[in-house]
Structure 1
């Protein structure tokens, strides 16, 4: 979701790994066991009992806030393994990280996350192959209308092909649809990819991903479609239009990702609006993945108990709509603990200077009310007919 620094190589990682893990103020150290693991089932296990896949994202070889979080912070790793059945990359397979220069490839970060997930018995999810808003600085000098299709196809073949058969799902294109001045007439976001290829850059990307990794479930990952406001009505309409266009063109696409960065205290949430959108997506034969669930709490009270209750209420009302829907097969939390909180590095921080509490667990890795809201929603969810797996 948030912007990111350049990729670093293995040598830089080893140097950074020697440093202390950076954690939030007032929290326990990385070697302090997480509280309560022995007394509760993990979210992954609860979700699996309903054939729903639950996981979270983690960073790899990026030194800010602690390199290789799940590898260097033993307590956090224990929590992650207890709660998650899937690990999603946060920055590691985005183009500026995998390709810091046109002729230079760097897979260190993604390789280490995949290795961790495999050894931990977790599914692995790739986010994301293309994001028009986050491209390398060199892209404009190296790619033009004449070579854009070949370049994008080759890039995706190399990245997705490297991990073929080991990635349960790829976010092939991220945040393609928008509203306002950034939107073209078809609702697609203007940017380097759209400007060079128009809407067919989506077709090119999904076809290349399927060629490179034919067993992976391919997802269009979209933000800001959860709330009952005009701008998100527009995004829902245009998202459905692009999904229909892709399917009519026989483009391989299997799911819509709904990011779900919830913002209580700001926009109107109407259950019937979101439920109809889920129905419309499912009617196309597509699955729905909740790909980046968390709570942006910048409009909630400063008082921590009140803020935590507000976050829990927002997640509760959202999941009460989402989880009963049979098309929803995955819940991915965008982070797990406030100890590592992407919002603190973004423009979505609180204006009062207090740290965000976006995640399910606090700085000390203790569950918060929002965690219990997810537990309750999963327990109440109907079971799916089969678990989510790689394509046959």
Structure 2
């Protein structure tokens, strides 16, 4: 569930990140990416350093005002992350307040911050059923829907071409309750399932060097709905690959809910292997762990949250095509789960859903994530 509060290494980004951390020994331009990763892993103690030990990324969703005006958040990001994704500043309703007129200011500030500090940047999101501008009609014929969607994808992806390492091209296209498994969206109603390959083709034309991902949620746990979502995801990915559509990976959002659903490591591992068999990378893109259903004591909540996250991440990081993990914010003071009535705790205690507490201190969830990265299977 992507809200408004809500890969691969390049030689340039790794070397720049290491330089930002004060590494003097990286030296020459011929230093290979693997050597860069090893050098980076020796620096600092943030989650990105733990991830880099097996060639992976750790990142977080951010908002440009926080990076500009909140020194605490800025320091946390620079300590912990190697990859950033905008929480809301690349969504259509934010970018285009009127037809054909784009304001890229927020996204550009994030891109500049990432470049200045040697971080990678991920784009989110090009085609979604939510965050649509108010001027966009809610019903379109096929020709107009195709034109508007492709023009938007082209405008945004071409603007950030060469600055964004990957895109969530299509977000949340599946509805397990629908007879065909597809969400009834503006795009689905006008174009049918063909909107998905059309969006990927437009993104590839606009930014041929970016990695292109399909992104969805509720793919980890053991419920009938999630069984359907996993099966439909594999069906979509298989067809895209068979038809030669330019897609490079699957984004698994990772919005976990402690105490709600059972977790079956074997079932999740089989799904990951099936995605990998399609020659696709896999990235956890928006991880947090809701403690809404857990008892009030913080220590009990923290232990349960860390236990579930550790279980899921150990399964995920055993897959060699798992490229990294992003959380939807770093500190509990940033979590969107405290903003919506449907996600708040009924006792009104703030949720403890992210690796750092409200003061930026590592919690048991941080430790579980670091340990999962340390034990991860090397990437291939």
- Alignment of 1:352 with 2:347, yes or no, is yes
CA spacing shift, 1:116–1:184, aligned 2, 3 Å = farther
Does the Cα contact within 8 Å between 2:44 and 2:79 map onto a contact in 1? no
CA contact (8 A) 1:184 1:190 kept: no
Aligned to 1:15: none
Structure 2 spans left out of the alignment, 5+ residues: 6-42
2: CA distance between counterparts of 1:2 and 1:327?
23
2:45 corresponds to 1:41: yes
Q: 2:315 aligns with which of 318, 321, 324?
A: 321
Within the candidate set 254, 261, 265, 1:260 is matched to 254
Offset of 1:145 from its aligned partner? 2.2
Deviation at 1:164, TM superposition (A): 0.4
Which residue of structure 2 aligns with residue 379 of structure 1? 374
Is the Cα–Cα contact under 8 Å of residues 143 and 151 in structure 1 kept in the other structure? Answer: no
8 A Cα contact 1:360 1:371, kept in partner: yes
How far apart, in 1, do the equivalents of 2:345 and 2:138 lie?
A: 37
Q: Give the whole-Å Cα distance in 2 for the aligned partners of 1:222 and 1:54.
A: 19
**Which runs of structure 2 are paired with 1:283-322 in the superposition (5 Å)?**
283-322=277-316
1:136 has 2:133 as partner: yes
Q: Could you say which residue in structure 1 is the equivalent of 2:153?
A: 156
Is residue 139–residue 190 contact of structure 2 (8 Å, CA) maintained in 1?
no
Cα distance, 1:225 vs structure 2: 1.0
Residue 366 to residue 141, structure 1, CA distance change in 2 (3 Å): closer
Q: Secondary structure at the match of 1:171?
A: strand
Structure 1 residue runs of 5 or longer lacking an equivalent are 6-38, 61-67, 386-392
Of 127-136 and 209-218, deviating more is 127-136
Deviation at 1:4, TM superposition (A): 3.7
- Inter-partner Cα distance in structure 1 for 2:122 and 2:179: 30
Q: Deviations along 1:303-360, whole A, 9 cap, x unmatched?
A: 1111111111011111111111101012111110012111112221111111111110
**Number of residue equivalences:** 342
* Per-residue Cα deviation, 1:240-291 (whole angstroms, up to 9, x for no partner): 1111111121110000011111111010100000000001101111111111
Distance 1:208 1:196, change over 3 A: same
Indicate which of 51, 54, 57 corresponds to 2:55. Answer: 51
- After the TM superposition, which of the residue ranges 98-107 and 303-312 deviates more from structure 2? 98-107
Displacement after TM superposition at 1:165 (Å): 1.2
1:193 corresponds, among 181, 187, 202, to: 187
Q: How does 1:70-219 map to 2 (within 5 A)?
A: 70-140=67-137, 143-180=140-177, 183-185=178-180, 187-219=181-213
Cross-structure match for 1:31 = none
Q: 1:341 aligns with which of 318, 335, 345?
A: 335
By how many angstroms is 1:179 displaced?
Answer: 1.3
Give distance in 1, aligned partners of 2:324 and 2:310: 16
- Could you list the per-position Cα deviations for residues 344-387 of structure 1 after superposition, in whole angstroms to 9, with x for gaps in the alignment? 122211111111111100111000000000111111112224xx
Give yes or no for contact 2:215–2:252 (8 Å, CA) kept in 1.
yes
- Aligned to 2:365, which of 361, 370, 387? 370
Where 1:360 maps in the other structure, the secondary structure is: coil
Residues 1:257 and 1:2: Cα distance change in structure 2 (over 3 Å): closer
Q: Quote the Cα distance in structure 2 between the aligned partners of 1:378 and 1:4.
A: 28
CA shift in 2, pair 1:138/1:367, >3 Å:
same
CA distance in 1, matches of 2:141, 2:87: 28
1:75 CA displacement: 1.7
> What's the secondary structure of 1:157's corresponding residue?
helix
Report the equivalent of 2:21. none
